[in-house]
Structure 1
Amino acid sequence: MDTIPWEITLTVLGVVIPTVAGVYEFFFIGRKRLGYRIQMDTRAFGEDFAGARHPSLVLVRIENNGSVPVDVDDYMESEPVGLSVRFPRRRVVRAFDPTRRGPSSPTNAIPLLNRDPERADPDVLRLPRVPLNPNEHYKVLVVLDELDGDNAPERDGDESDAVMESRIKGGRITRTRYRARVSRGVVALITVMASLIVALYYVSEDNSTAAVDCASGKLAVVGSTAFRPVLEKAAASYREACREAPGDVEIDIRATGSQEGVRTLDEAGREAGEDGPAMLAFSDGRKGDGHPQLLPRPVSFSLFTLVVNKAAGVQDLTPEQIRRIYAGRYRNWSDVGGNDLPIALVGRYSNSGSRRALEERVLGGATEPNVTSHDCRARVARPDHPALRCERGSTQEALDTVAAVPGGLGYAEAHAAGARTDRLRLVRIDGHPAELDAADRGVYPFWATEYAYTYGQPPADSLVAGFLRYMTLEVGQDVIREYGQRPCADLANPRLCRPS
């Protein structure tokens, strides 16, 4: 009896799995489904904030993660309330919609539903009956008063004690973390079917071919110095995976700065033939204007941090303090509560993506001041700005300079900076450390999307396309994670990685 080829089996199972999972989810789980997510739950600084003696701030997200719309009549609370969220041992002081959806928005009822301070259940947040189409959401910012005062526990979004006490007709309300998940039954079903696929593959075929999409030839990778360690490790891993494939693989990493890499690719593309240059450019942030032939591909979410020499005596700066330092209004660390040392700014050249991320996300669009020093210790003869500032060409050079100058302040990719804590200190911004989860939630501002640029669409069988696919698939993503960054697909809010 003839056996069925394993390729046909894989194709059939590839259709069966999502079909069965979809039917199970549609008929047995329920089509109407709301999710609620606590994206932030943190104690606020100071006392008597918004009428709360021990204030805490909570950001609640309500989302329709079902397959059909949720209408106003689907809520089961007494009108006009649609949903009730309880916060044990805390009192709701204020609640409002931070998205400002417009004067006619149903969420404008949020302050009215929560303004009575004498209600019997002050620990309950009342939300209106908001109609939501699939994948739509809204957010509510809540000011709470900690009834336990100084004994209240520290929380974050995942550890919040908020409890949803409402239901909807013909469906359910579930708490989500980063994104709505399929049910456990569907996960179990997919796991079993996937195991069968793997077993069939190894039983039916001698898996001696390389799993990587190997291509041969020479490839130049230019651009970001901050992303260079990731690219070097990924290139070495790709060459190793393709060592038995026909043809040689040569990948040359030339990190000269994000914007310089973009310009190099653009110039090479104009001189190349129809297939384009054998070159990729990686940039910390967008390419800028004037390069219409370059196509972006979001690769990762890159985190940056300010760094200071430990002698400066600071660990935390507010955004306003940072802007004043770079504007030259604060020139000594004692101006912000640190030691009596002059502030020496260690910047990057204008082609640096790290510098562009600082200017856009931390300095509010302002540019770094001009160079007024060559060694970050003494001013040049005719400085044109009150700040003392020098420039360096790469991430490591900037970190070396900050480590050598007692009052040094610079910035770098967070993973690279974290390896230099012997003489450097990573600066918190408004109390938030340089952590990916904080940036993902929107409370830490210093980050950038790492883009890979090609000149036009490269041929599918080219080394350019093969290495780019490798960077965005499992092995390449593992390398990205290894160096403290995060693939775009891992984000709670993947839109952060989309090209602007």
Structure 2
Amino acid sequence: MGPGQTLQALAELLGSGQGSVVLGVAALLAIASPIVDRYVIRRKRVHYRVQYNSKIGLSPVDLHDGNGAARHADPRLLHIAELLDRMSIVVIRVRNTGSFDIEPKDFGRPLEFTFGRRVIWDARISEPSVEEHRGELTDALEFFSVDGDAGDPGETGKLTKVRTSLGQRLSAWLGNSASGEPPPAPPPQWHGVRLSRLSLERKEKFKLVVVLREPDGNRHGEITKVVERSGHLPGGRIKDDRKLRRITWPVVTATFGVLLTGALLATVLTSASRQVTDPTLQCADGTLRIVGSSAFTPAVSDIAGEYSRVCGADVTTEATGSIDGVRLLANLDQAERGTLAALSDGRAGEPGRQLVAQAVAVIVYTVVVNDSVGVDRLTLEQVRGIHSGRYRDWNQIRRGPSLPIRIVGRGQESGSRRTFERTVLDGPEGGLSSDSCERRDRGASAPVIRCERGSEADVLAEVADTEGAIGYADLPSARAARTGGLPITVVELDENYPDVSDIPNGYPFWTIEYLYTLGVPENGSLLRYFIDYLRSGTARAALQDAGYVPCVRRDGRVHHLCRG
């Protein structure tokens, strides 16, 4: 199925009676997806944000009396300024944004922050939202080198060791800088901090403050700004707040779900409004039987059922086929003429009795083929050639493998067949040569393999079950069958799609659905009131839902296609 057919099928599905169910399911999935993501799939969430990353700032060039002529006398101040000039502070906010508490066992790898080659001189936990957890958070801090852990894996990497070495660093720096003596063995070089046993309650947060200095080899230029995060939270997420998009897929899906819910409510309200009893409805007691067209009877059956429910009358339908239905009406006893009406696809040709036609709706038909055929458009000449036997294999019409053509038609009682012969074939459909639709089991010498089925539904089912099959049906039935999963393709004729809007462009396969009565119905009779009901807004809406164009428009005027 090509993209065009896929979009077409989708549009038909949403426009069908199953559209509300589709909208409801889609809205539920769209709204539920971010909830499932947050509470089921990725329930644990840690967000962090680097709030400050800059040098402490006290440059040696600033240590003068304002005119640059003299510097401060104490040389140690110069050494302190040189020390602080290469130092920086990083403030990182860490918070639990998920819906559940986080424990150390939840981490696949602990949360870590590294700062390039900058060396950590000190660190602290600041502004914890749960003050009682300050000590636990401090104890969770471990310090390491980018080349591996500094010292032994125990006390060496703890905050107490970092602060002990801080005094050694300051003394060594100030003493050696002032004396010019070579520095003693350097203390450990820590480049990263690890929160090894991090526990966070729901919505808990804190700030990690780290004091760093550039490595000795970097004595000039801008300080390093690198801050990198690592760690893994299985079944969850660790995210940088600065990189979070405002428009995320949960927001998009939730918004889409809300829009679909609105569409669903509009559909339900529209449907409910249609079910409100028409104030102009007139009811009558009695029994009325409507026979005829197998294509159109299902739509009228729904309308008759609603009228019967509201009015308490007994209005029933029977799909006998257009021709047999009109014949049955024509042979009716005059005394019973108000108890029967007949639906006919197109004008009835039954001579004799006075039959009165009421135009009900425009009915569009379509040629359909089994999906195995691989075509979605034919010319009228090709359709006529298929039924005449000029084309017996699909490879005579399209490129591809051999596939015998098998025709599924309707019987002589069918108004659909009469319309097909008059508007498409411009002649008779042909003889019956097959019962199975697979082979010529009724006439080996017949030019085509052609079988017949008694209703639109049977034709569609047979075309779907038979490879290489071609048939025809009214468009709403074909759409419903394809939406229901049958492997059939709706075919364009002479590049015109089967639709009312393409009739002015030359689409030929259509007719008017008529309701025939024996004479003019008497005023006050059930038949008279039911015909009036067929023209009401309620019945018009039901016909439109079924895929037909009512002949009587909302403003009471007759549709231009129904005036002939």
For Structure 1 versus Structure 2, the TM-score category normalised by the shorter chain is 0.5 to 0.7
1:443 aligns with 2:512: no
Which structure features the higher share of helix residues?
A: 2
Deviation at 1:383, TM superposition (A): 4.2
Cα distance in 2, alignment partners of residues 240 and 443 from structure 1: 41
Cα distance in 2, alignment partners of residues 348 and 283 from structure 1: 15
1:229 aligns with 2:298: yes
Distance 1:291 1:255, change over 3 A: farther
Alignment of 1:453-492 (within 5 A): 453-490=516-553
* Alignment deviations for residues 194-218 of structure 1 (CA, whole Å, 9 cap, x no partner): xxxxxxxxxxxxx999641111111
Distance 1:291 1:404, change over 3 A: farther
1:309 aligns with 2:370: yes
* Alignment deviations for residues 373-395 of structure 1 (CA, whole Å, 9 cap, x no partner): 00100112534530110000001
Name the structure 1 match of 2:432.
371
Cα distance in 2, alignment partners of residues 293 and 341 from structure 1: 49
Secondary structure in structure 1 of the residue aligned to 2:464: helix
Cα distance in 2, alignment partners of residues 448 and 208 from structure 1: 30
Name the structure 2 match of 1:101.
none
Deviation at 1:448, TM superposition (A): 0.8
Name the structure 2 match of 1:135.
none
Secondary structure in structure 2 of the residue aligned to 1:237: helix
Letter in 2 for 1:471: L
Cα distance in 1, alignment partners of residues 560 and 526 from structure 2: 28
1:239 aligns with 2:300: no
Name the structure 1 match of 2:315.
251
Deviation at 1:299, TM superposition (A): 0.8
1:348 aligns with 2:348: no
Cα distance in 2, alignment partners of residues 251 and 317 from structure 1: 41
Cα distance in 2, alignment partners of residues 394 and 362 from structure 1: 19
Letter in 1 for 2:391: Y
1:497 aligns with 2:562: yes
Q: Rg bigger for which structure?
A: 2
- Scaled by the length of structure 2, the TM-score of the pair is 0.48
* Alignment deviations for residues 111-163 of structure 1 (CA, whole Å, 9 cap, x no partner): xxxxxxxxxxxxxxxxxxxxxxxxxxxxxxxxxxxxxxxxxxxxxxxxxxxxx
Deviation at 1:460, TM superposition (A): 1.2
Cα distance in 1, alignment partners of residues 290 and 277 from structure 2: 30
* Alignment deviations for residues 149-202 of structure 1 (CA, whole Å, 9 cap, x no partner): xxxxxxxxxxxxxxxxxxxxxxxxxxxxxxxxxxxxxxxxxxxxxxxxxxxxxx
Secondary structure in structure 2 of the residue aligned to 1:375: coil
Secondary structure in structure 1 of the residue aligned to 2:283: coil
Task: Tell me if structure 2 keeps the 8 A contact 1:283–1:452.
Answer: yes
Cα distance in 1, alignment partners of residues 379 and 545 from structure 2: 30
Cα distance in 1, alignment partners of residues 558 and 518 from structure 2: 28
**Equivalent pairs, count:** 283
Deviation at 1:490, TM superposition (A): 4.5
Most deviating of 391-400 and 457-466 = 457-466
Letter in 2 for 1:484: G
* Alignment deviations for residues 213-233 of structure 1 (CA, whole Å, 9 cap, x no partner): 111111000000100121111
* Alignment deviations for residues 234-267 of structure 1 (CA, whole Å, 9 cap, x no partner): 012212332xxxxx41111111100110001111
Name the structure 1 match of 2:283.
214
Secondary structure in structure 2 of the residue aligned to 1:331: coil
Secondary structure in structure 1 of the residue aligned to 2:357: strand
Cα distance in 1, alignment partners of residues 347 and 277 from structure 2: 40
- Structure 1: state its 5+ residue gaps: 1-206, 243-247
Alignment of 1:71-90 (within 5 A): none
Structure 2 residue corresponding to 1:321, chosen from 373, 376, 382:
382
Most deviating of 384-393 and 303-312 = 384-393
Letter in 2 for 1:329: R
Secondary structure in structure 2 of the residue aligned to 1:432: coil
Name the structure 1 match of 2:327.
263
Q: Matched residues, percent identical?
A: 36
Distance 1:430 1:208, change over 3 A: closer
Deviation at 1:498, TM superposition (A): 3.2
Secondary structure in structure 1 of the residue aligned to 2:381: helix
Name the structure 2 match of 1:300.
361
* Alignment deviations for residues 412-447 of structure 1 (CA, whole Å, 9 cap, x no partner): 0101101222300000111121111112x2421110
Letter in 1 for 2:414: S
Letter in 1 for 2:299: V
Task: Tell me if structure 2 keeps the 8 A contact 1:223–1:259.
Answer: yes
Distance 1:350 1:498, change over 3 A: farther
* Alignment deviations for residues 286-313 of structure 1 (CA, whole Å, 9 cap, x no partner): 1114144111111110011011000011
Cα distance in 2, alignment partners of residues 455 and 442 from structure 1: 36
Task: Tell me if structure 2 keeps the 8 A contact 1:212–1:241.
Answer: no
- Scaled by the length of structure 1, the TM-score of the pair is 0.54
Task: Tell me if structure 1 keeps the 8 A contact 2:278–2:536.
Answer: no
Alignment of 1:107-186 (within 5 A): none
Task: Tell me if structure 2 keeps the 8 A contact 1:471–1:477.
Answer: yes
Alignment of 1:389-400 (within 5 A): 389-400=450-461
Task: Tell me if structure 2 keeps the 8 A contact 1:313–1:338.
Answer: no
Alignment of 1:364-443 (within 5 A): 364=426, 366-380=427-441, 382-383=443-444, 385-421=446-482, 422=485, 423-439=487-503, 441-443=504-506
